[in-house]
Amino acid sequence: MLSKDKMQRINELSRKSKQTDLTSAEKAEQKKLREEYLQVFRKSFVQDLHGMTFVDPNGDDVTPEKLKRSKDHKKNLKH
């Protein structure tokens, strides 16, 4: 999870960019913060997916093979 301060700063820069132009330093800061946010978001999303199993109405596991391989790959990295 991104810190509250960083999230507030992302929002401040976003609001400011809608009202005026950002300085080059602010643009660089905004880009860095956005990249950090996306990295944290993607990691969290993958963790959420790895915790899921897809089941059809008959109760059969229909989890996509790509997700199963990703789960297996993660398990192998831990061992």
Contact of 7 with 20, CB cutoff 8 Å:
no
Contact 7, 40 (CB under 8 A): no
Spatial distance between the Cα atoms of 5 and 59, rounded to a whole number of angstroms = 44
What pTM does this model have? 0.74
Listed in sequence order, the residues at least 6 apart from 16 whose beta carbon sits closer than 8 Å to its beta carbon are 22, 26
**Structural tokens at position 16:** 């400011």
Inform me whether the pLDDT recorded for 2 exceeds 80: yes
The tens digit of pLDDT for each residue in 4-56 reads 999 999 999 999 999 999 999 999 999 999 999 999 999 999 999 999 999 99
pLDDT of 78 above 90: no
